[in-house]
Structure 1
Amino acid sequence: MKTDAEEQVAEKDAPLQDDIRLLGRLLGDTILEQEGEAIFGLVEAIRRSSIQFQQGNSVADREELESILNKLSTEQAVLVLRAYSYFLQLANIAEDQHHLRRNRFHEIAGSLPRPGTMSHALTKAKHEGVTAEQLDHFFKTALVSPVLTAHPTEVRRKSTMRREMSIAELLEKRERVDWTKKETDLIDKALRREVLTIWQTDILRRTKLQISDEIQNGLSYYDQTFFAELPRFYVDLEEELEQQQLNPKPVEIPSFLRMGSWVGGDRDGNPFVTADVLRQTLRRQNAYALNFYLEETHQLGSELSISTNIVEMSPDLLALADKSPDHSPHRQGEPYRRAISGIYARLVATLTEFGSAAPARPPLGLAHAYANADEYLADLDVIHASLMEHESQLIAEGRLKRLRRAVRCFGFHLATLDLRQNSDVHARSIAELLSAVDQDIQYENLAEAERVALLTSELRSGRPLLRPYWTYSEETSSEIEILRLVTMAHQQYGEDAIMTAIISNTQSVSDLLELAVLLKQVGLVSPEGQSKINIVPLFETIEDLRNCIGIMDELLSIPEYRRLVDTRGGVQEVMLGYSDSNKDGGFVTSGWELYKAETALIELFERHGVGLRLFHGRGGTVGRGGGPSYEAVLAQPKGAVQGQIRVTEQGETISFKYSKPELGRRNLESLAAATFEASLLGDDRKPIPSHYIETMDALSEEAFKAYRNLVYETEGFEDYFWDSTVINEIATLNIGSRPASRKKTRRVQDLRAIPWVFSWAQCRLMLPGWYGFGTSVKNWLETHPDKGLTILRDMYVNWPFFHTQLSNMDMVLAKSNIAIASRYADLVPDVKLREAIFGRIKAEWQSSIDALLSIADHDQLLQENPLLDRSIHNRYAYLDPLNHIQVELLKLSRSNADNPRLLRGIHIAINGIAAGLRNSG
């Protein structure tokens, strides 16, 4: 018999279960119609048997399920994989819709603002006595920037995702209105049509993604979410400020929440990102923004049919109308429409001047192009001012207000594009430039102090290092051409088009000075010490994080470099890499070294009188710094946010977060709300107790030893990894333009962090998200038998950092399955190696779970998150068969490498498992 609480949960989840049953039935009907009774019966038999095994967990149930799965032919296996993969994707749609449904329910019920909303943050600000002056300063100086990257773990095709969005819209439509039976039948028919289309669509890409595809994929989220939701975010925020009377008068909030991108500018390890690609990226972003403005301007013209016979208009508006090429007698009494026709004509001229094709809807005459987005905005402001002056405020606050905000958000550049390159490339380029002007300089042989001295003298010097007729290497020529493009981008699209150059693998002061000298050669850094671009170090490995304080201290003490910082508003951005630090040192040590680096950077920058902006290079999964963004920001050390934060959005998390407008809005707002709260609230937070620090140091040291011993010091581990995971098969998936490894080796050091984490997720171990924790806690308790557990529990309750780390680990461990992982371990042909390594992994897995439950004082994983717990357990019946079939196909494929059908099946399984786990990369 269910308890009252369980009854309430069941009632809340009933609409979700109804949607899942509906979509499952439609998929089943489609399989029956398309593939016949035999395949449909097979899919159903596996489903029933898997559910029975999940519920009973008996040996007999497992053997029955395995008996069915082991008898599948390759053709049958592929069809079953497709069925279960699509079901999990449909279940994801239903879950997302249910989250939105519950949010609407709370709003309709008048519930208190929920954490992660600006309404909640502003309510807390009012309660804590935050003044209007403090709010004004925050909004004027804040920067919150989600940065979309092309780092690939998204295995779904855009074709499939578009169908999924249509299904989501139909589900929402189905429940929002009391439809007649005939109307409901029409919606259900449309749903069946979408499911059928998905079934008949190739689930896999046949060709590898090109950078042009990645650019287009990134742009598509503007149509889906950003164009609509970012302007609405500001409209709602301004209204909330007014309603809560936190400002003495209505104000227009500066556009502090802005989009960033790496797609087309990230050259680190991607030889396909060239100057031509960068040029194409900038042009396509510009065209996307301008075409959006053209459509919105046209729609605005159709709305503003206001007549001079009824309403007065400002002289500026009338003058703007008189400049228009629109001389139609039908609109002589409608100056707003004539003014907008002129604006539209200028936008068309701007689009064509930038080199893009003219829109299908031609202007009513010729006009001069806009020099920049500010000129376009100024014309819109004329319309706004006239409406406000003449009793038309309500009209001004409709489409026009959102369009004006969009222009302030997106300009003519759409998103700020970062450049990124490896420090080794900069060093080789500098060496070549110096050798060309003085062959006695052997830069690569200089000690670090000599490099710093030479580079600072070059920053002071007025001489150019570039020789006009010199033939440079292809690599150096490419770097110089790309940097020259930044100046062009600033002139054409505005300085917001490219504001940052990131140096990956930063390990020394000279790494930053090298880029500064390169920028000087193309005019982005002047001899007087002015910089037109932010120079940003990226500290990635554990060693780099530990060394970053000394590097930044020395760097900010160099007058030539400090002048560059001062010309960038006195703010130095520092990027911290979560992915590589985790691959290098494990989850516990990575998280702790990042936290310590932030804390030390805060103190260092305060001493130097320089503002700190942190750029968090987080991935989707916990093994790469993932987890809920709101909690992650609030768990930062005090002073780490300072009103400014940038965060990467990578892989499949982009589509999960931003493919649907309402979900996208929630994720954007939660990041903004967290930044607001971390910057303005909680000034009374107590310093972290010293024994917390000492405890984390001890835990980290032991976890680091355990992780490094397994991954880097155990003989044969690399063979175990390559044999027991789908890393080889992932490398052949068409999910990105970059290679899986930095070098053509099997070494873990050379493997990119993304396929490293993705591989462990596929075999349901999620090892990068927990390994070493159990050992560290065990050793701590052994050396502190009296109060050890009490201290850890106190840290869990009272320290947001520690609580967030364990909560993320909780989620990862809940998604793991050691029984399934053992089947992947069986793929390792060396029995002795397999038993030795998997035995250690299994013991650490159990030890980590035991430690986590003990510290949290929980009886089971995800005890604090029953919604996620139910979601994960409901998926097991569909996930587990995918893993089982994948293992069997791997066995066959590795003994029959020339069979493309086997590899296709494995790839489909990868797709389905990723869908079932969601944040897997």
Structure 2
Amino acid sequence: MTESRIETEQDAIRPLRDDIRFLGGVLGDTIRDHEGPEVFDLIERVRIEAFRVRREEVGRSAVAQILEGVDIAVALPLIRAFSYFVLLANLAEDIQRDRRRAAHEAAGEPPQSSSLAATYRKLDAAALDGAAVADLLADALVSPVITAHPTETRRRTVFDVQTAITELMRRRQRYTETERERAAAESQIRRQVLALWRTALIRLQRLRIQDEIAVGLRYYELTLFDVMPAINAEVRAALRSRWPGVELLPRPILRPGSWIGGDRDGNPYVTAEVVRQAAGQAAGVAFGRYLGELEGLEKSLSQSSRLVPVTSRVAELAAAGYPDPATHADEPYRRALHAIRVRLSATAGRALGAIAVDRAAGVSLDTLPGAVTGQQTDAAAVYPTPQSILDDLDAIDASMRAGGDGLLADDRLAALRHAVETFGFHLQGLDMRQNSEVHEQVVAELLAWAGVHQDYPSLSEHERVELLSAELRTRRPLLGPHARLGELAAKELGIVRAARDVVDTLGPEAVPNYIISMCTSVSDMLEAALLLKEGGLLDPGEPDGPPICAVGIVPLFETIEDLGAGAATLAAALEVPVYRDLVAAADMRQEVMLGYSDSNKDGGYLAANWALYRAELDLVEVVRKTGIRLRLFHGRGGTVGRGGGRSYDAILAQPAGAVRGSLRLTEQGEVIAAKYAEPGAAHRNLESLIAGTLESTLLDVEGLGSEAEPSYELMDELAARARAAYARLVHETPGFVEYFRQSTPVAEVGDLNIGSRPASRKPTSSVSDLRAIPWVMSWSQARVMLPGWYGTGTALEEWIGGDEARLATLSDLYRRWPFFRTVLSNLAQVMAKSDLDIAARYAELVEDETLRDNIFGMIRDEHARTIRMHAAITGNDHLLADNPSLAESIHNRFPYLEPLNQMQVELLRRLRAGEDSELVKRGILLTMNGLATALRNSG
């Protein structure tokens, strides 16, 4: 690297390091002032030694020796200090990314990959036919779905203070020439850091589902209300300008979803009341936003009829505006907007009254900003659908443009119109989810109560399908009003009936899907359909008509075996007449969900990724044969071990035909805040989802051509070898579960108050029953990161076998095939965050020395092997050669991780030796919080 190039890179990162140095200094001053010199001096001593460890001037024991035996009363502020150092470093990095992006744009450089501007250039170069584009985007949808089991460890208060510091740091950056203003910003930053230091990092109680609902909804006010509609409008305009003769994207492409309050798989706290609260609070947020905007428009659109003509439709609206015709008599837009606001208030009152029956949820008309509570309107005037209020808003828009006020219409009114179109009255689609085993138990009880069959579980698959098909064709309900059911069946049926109430009130988009976890058969799909029928969401139809279901029935294929059989299961379901009729009634649309977490835990990183790709190839073939319109729902988590990584790259890595203008994907854990807490970040992440979807749909991005089948066969072999290597460790090595439990904080993860869901599906110590979040999070805390790489090195080394030609084949695939390149890139990212020297300290917690040496030896050998194979295939001399920003991030933050990991090991040792104090437990949870914040994709 030339000297000038080095100077340029140093200049680029200097502002970041200056920000980190400044924020670290402010935090240090705060600690010295409020914890005293003794605590501050210890923290400084540990910090200096941690940086010496990174520079390899001293060994790992230098930090461990300082922390050994440290008093817990001193250890707690030390842990908090390094946790906040990391949090502030995250903040500085986010600001640096914005700074670099602005510099990139100011320099007039080409738009960066994953931006819509770059995608439009690619589409223009491809010279696509408009009719073909319209066909491929006929069902266009990009839906990020916030899930119900977050690993977001920050409290709301901490989150809010961090947001305030971010804005103050940006203000400080702008005040480079005005010392007084810069000093004022820095003074405010010091106040916020003090507030941060005085705020407890962890909650005393576990999050309730009601808390999770509120956490999920906060992102709408922060960013999504403004960003999503704006992107929808921009993408529609951009595509229609390129193909003006085609009506592209008649519906907004971006439409959000949520699992929070509807996902009850393994979560006993989801009830019918929770479903109503989740839907009611979401609707309340939407109505509140619209009413507030209408109130603002009513104040600002003061055009006088003496100066501006209006259309007859606006005149009609204005006539109904106020009870007193003299009020704003010559201001028709104000009067018309007031009439709309009155009608929308009545609509909100009726909807919220019908759904949110529990007033403890805090959703009622008088809690909504901009609501009109004193003026009555006829019940018939309630808006029946979002389109009906859009019609009125569109009439105002048309009148303003006709009168020459288009500039005004393009502002707040346009934003409101786009928001209503995007979010409707429901705000977000609330998915329902339950495990297939539960469906079987409930259906068996319903059939037995109704006298249809007393022992449903004893039936064969063929007999089950025949029985369920017949029940789905009949209009007779299984239950009467006085049916007596067991607790599980009553609860499940109550939840489905609550979902029906939501659909009846807010429309079918309010509950768009019913997802079947661990779906393995056609009967699993039909059991869910029968439950929907009994709950009132599936109508068998007239004797000569098709059945109609208000929600989509979505099989979720999770394990590697189920992914392999998923296409066959779907094809078999489509051969069942009643199910085929349901799909036909839904315009031949069928959604399928693919599970990343359990497949990875089941078979390891490489095998799971290839099983997902193969499943998609097989599903695309089902589409070709049956004519259905497939939509894939990707159950991705925040970490590489659960499907994480850059979403844009992941979308481009899908096989040809798998996207076709439409996809949904889960957003989970701390990555939700990283992506959607700030408008700039939200805009970048959402546009990257659309950019990837458009490119994967309209362009040939796979790049394999005629070599596709041989490449697939090669991956079949690699995946089989990787799975075998993974199984030898995780499933076949005696004592592995014991090693995992002792060498990681998995037992303590369940005590971290980060979500309402239990850590395991059922009481067991089996890896298969452990949820993916604690599985991945525990390996991350111990800095092994095992789910994101183990088995891959062995597979690659065995297949290459020293053959240079085979190595060249893999190197060629890495260059040409987005799937293979993404797999290796994500593996490199997670391995760069691993640290086996730290992991060795965790391994020392294992009591059986032979077991420890055996298993950790296997892990260490595979780690080295995988790094070696990555370098040989990619030609990169280090893991992050293609990701310098992450390399810089690791360089900046990892000295702060050293004390957190070392302190966690120390406290785990004390706890397990019998020091069962609340302060020790709290210290462990604090270290987990700090490490999760630092690693940014902990679970």
Q: Does 1:201 pair with 2:209?
A: no
Q: What CA distance in whole angstroms lies between the structure 2 residues aligned with 1:167 and 1:866?
A: 26
Corresponding residue number in structure 1 for 2:267: 270
Q: What CA distance in whole angstroms lies between the structure 2 residues aligned with 1:550 and 1:135?
A: 30
Are 1:264 and 1:277, in contact at CA under 8 Å, matched by a contact in 2? yes
1:487/1:439 CA distance change after superposition, 3 Å: closer
Match of 2:825 among 781, 795, 807: 807
Q: How does 1:564-713 map to 2 (within 5 A)?
A: 564-682=582-700, 685=703, 686-713=705-732
| C-alpha deviation, 1:850, in angstroms | 0.6
Q: What CA distance in whole angstroms lies between the structure 1 residues aligned with 2:208 and 2:741?
A: 26
Q: What CA distance in whole angstroms lies between the structure 2 residues aligned with 1:297 and 1:854?
A: 61
Q: What CA distance in whole angstroms lies between the structure 2 residues aligned with 1:584 and 1:251?
A: 42
Are 1:235 and 1:402, in contact at CA under 8 Å, matched by a contact in 2? no
Q: What CA distance in whole angstroms lies between the structure 1 residues aligned with 2:518 and 2:915?
A: 37
Corresponding residue number in structure 1 for 2:365: 357
Q: What CA distance in whole angstroms lies between the structure 2 residues aligned with 1:239 and 1:464?
A: 48
Stretches of structure 1 lacking an aligned partner (at least 5 in a row): none
Deviates more, 1:115-124 or 1:350-359: 350-359
Corresponding residue number in structure 2 for 1:288: 285
Q: What CA distance in whole angstroms lies between the structure 2 residues aligned with 1:426 and 1:248?
A: 48
Normalising to structure 2: TM-score of the pair? 0.95
| C-alpha deviation, 1:360, in angstroms | 5.9
Corresponding residue number in structure 2 for 1:166: 164
Corresponding residue number in structure 1 for 2:23: 23
Q: What CA distance in whole angstroms lies between the structure 1 residues aligned with 2:565 and 2:106?
A: 52
1:690/1:491 CA distance change after superposition, 3 Å: closer
Q: What CA distance in whole angstroms lies between the structure 2 residues aligned with 1:788 and 1:249?
A: 48
Q: What CA distance in whole angstroms lies between the structure 1 residues aligned with 2:174 and 2:572?
A: 61
1:460/1:491 CA distance change after superposition, 3 Å: closer
Deviates more, 1:218-227 or 1:104-113: 104-113
Q: What CA distance in whole angstroms lies between the structure 2 residues aligned with 1:362 and 1:559?
A: 49
Q: What CA distance in whole angstroms lies between the structure 1 residues aligned with 2:32 and 2:68?
A: 22
Corresponding residue number in structure 2 for 1:115: 113
1:259/1:883 CA distance change after superposition, 3 Å: same
1:165/1:488 CA distance change after superposition, 3 Å: same
Aligned partner of residue 648 in structure 1, secondary structure: strand
Q: How does 1:240-279 map to 2 (within 5 A)?
A: 240-241=238-239, 245-247=242-244, 254-279=251-276
Corresponding residue number in structure 1 for 2:358: none
1:876/1:461 CA distance change after superposition, 3 Å: same
Deviates more, 1:180-189 or 1:160-169: 180-189
| C-alpha deviation, 1:888, in angstroms | 0.4
- Across the aligned residues of Structure 1 and Structure 2, the Cα RMSD in angstroms comes to 1.9
Match of 1:740 among 753, 759, 764: 759
Q: What CA distance in whole angstroms lies between the structure 2 residues aligned with 1:680 and 1:772?
A: 35
| C-alpha deviation, 1:503, in angstroms | 0.3
Corresponding residue number in structure 1 for 2:460: 447
Corresponding residue number in structure 2 for 1:426: 439
Q: What CA distance in whole angstroms lies between the structure 2 residues aligned with 1:618 and 1:839?
A: 31
Match of 2:86 among 78, 85, 88: 88
Corresponding residue number in structure 2 for 1:47: 47
Corresponding residue number in structure 1 for 2:473: 460
Q: What CA distance in whole angstroms lies between the structure 1 residues aligned with 2:441 and 2:150?
A: 28
| C-alpha deviation, 1:531, in angstroms | 1.9
Are 1:718 and 1:747, in contact at CA under 8 Å, matched by a contact in 2? yes
Match of 2:66 among 65, 68, 72: 68
Are 1:763 and 1:821, in contact at CA under 8 Å, matched by a contact in 2? yes
Corresponding residue number in structure 2 for 1:919: 937
Corresponding residue number in structure 2 for 1:176: 174
Normalising to structure 1: TM-score of the pair? 0.97
Match of 2:850 among 832, 839, 844: 832
Are 1:126 and 1:246, in contact at CA under 8 Å, matched by a contact in 2? no
1:907/1:430 CA distance change after superposition, 3 Å: same
| C-alpha deviation, 1:366, in angstroms | 2.6
Q: Does 1:866 pair with 2:884?
A: yes
1:225-244 alpha-carbon deviations (Å, 9 max, x no partner): 110111221333355447x6
Match of 1:544 among 544, 562, 568: 562
- Counterpart code for 1:21: R
1:154/1:391 CA distance change after superposition, 3 Å: same
1:595/1:668 CA distance change after superposition, 3 Å: same
| C-alpha deviation, 1:326, in angstroms | 5.6
Are 1:24 and 1:87, in contact at CA under 8 Å, matched by a contact in 2? yes
Deviates more, 1:804-813 or 1:246-255: 246-255
Are 1:20 and 1:91, in contact at CA under 8 Å, matched by a contact in 2? yes
| C-alpha deviation, 1:362, in angstroms | 5.8
Q: Does 1:490 pair with 2:487?
A: no
1:177/1:558 CA distance change after superposition, 3 Å: same
| C-alpha deviation, 1:441, in angstroms | 3.6
Q: How does 1:189-338 map to 2 (within 5 A)?
A: 189-238=187-236, 240-241=238-239, 245-247=242-244, 254-325=251-322, 327=324, 329=326, 331-338=328-335
Corresponding residue number in structure 2 for 1:149: 147
Q: What CA distance in whole angstroms lies between the structure 1 residues aligned with 2:203 and 2:230?
A: 35
1:94/1:247 CA distance change after superposition, 3 Å: farther
Q: Does 1:401 pair with 2:414?
A: yes
Match of 2:492 among 463, 467, 479: 479
Q: Does 1:387 pair with 2:384?
A: no
Are 2:559 and 2:599, in contact at CA under 8 Å, matched by a contact in 1? yes
1:228/1:469 CA distance change after superposition, 3 Å: same
Are 1:234 and 1:253, in contact at CA under 8 Å, matched by a contact in 2? no
Deviates more, 1:67-76 or 1:882-891: 67-76
Once the two structures are aligned, what percentage of the paired residues are identical?
A: 44
| C-alpha deviation, 1:297, in angstroms | 1.0
- Counterpart code for 1:196: L
| C-alpha deviation, 1:684, in angstroms | 9.0
Match of 2:750 among 731, 739, 744: 731
1:455-496 alpha-carbon deviations (Å, 9 max, x no partner): 122222343222332201111112222222233222211111
| C-alpha deviation, 1:136, in angstroms | 4.2
Deviates more, 1:368-377 or 1:500-509: 368-377
Q: What CA distance in whole angstroms lies between the structure 2 residues aligned with 1:240 and 1:231?
A: 14
- Counterpart code for 1:375: S
Corresponding residue number in structure 2 for 1:762: 781
- Counterpart code for 1:120: A
Corresponding residue number in structure 1 for 2:377: 367
Q: What CA distance in whole angstroms lies between the structure 2 residues aligned with 1:910 and 1:860?
A: 28
Are 1:774 and 1:848, in contact at CA under 8 Å, matched by a contact in 2? yes
Deviates more, 1:483-492 or 1:831-840: 483-492
Stretches of structure 2 lacking an aligned partner (at least 5 in a row): 354-363, 541-545
- Counterpart code for 1:570: M
Corresponding residue number in structure 1 for 2:921: 903
Q: How does 1:118-133 map to 2 (within 5 A)?
A: 118-133=116-131
Q: What CA distance in whole angstroms lies between the structure 2 residues aligned with 1:202 and 1:801?
A: 43
1:396/1:250 CA distance change after superposition, 3 Å: farther
- Counterpart code for 2:883: N
Are 2:291 and 2:369, in contact at CA under 8 Å, matched by a contact in 1? no
Match of 2:840 among 822, 825, 829: 822
Deviates more, 1:62-71 or 1:407-416: 62-71
Aligned partner of residue 174 in structure 1, secondary structure: helix
Q: What CA distance in whole angstroms lies between the structure 2 residues aligned with 1:367 and 1:177?
A: 52
Aligned partner of residue 271 in structure 1, secondary structure: coil
Q: What CA distance in whole angstroms lies between the structure 2 residues aligned with 1:805 and 1:744?
A: 34
Are 1:549 and 1:600, in contact at CA under 8 Å, matched by a contact in 2? yes
- Counterpart code for 1:614: L
1:440/1:414 CA distance change after superposition, 3 Å: closer
Q: What CA distance in whole angstroms lies between the structure 2 residues aligned with 1:270 and 1:69?
A: 39
Q: What CA distance in whole angstroms lies between the structure 2 residues aligned with 1:463 and 1:439?
A: 12
Q: Does 1:853 pair with 2:851?
A: no
Deviates more, 1:11-20 or 1:195-204: 11-20
Are 1:224 and 1:660, in contact at CA under 8 Å, matched by a contact in 2? yes
- Counterpart code for 1:286: A
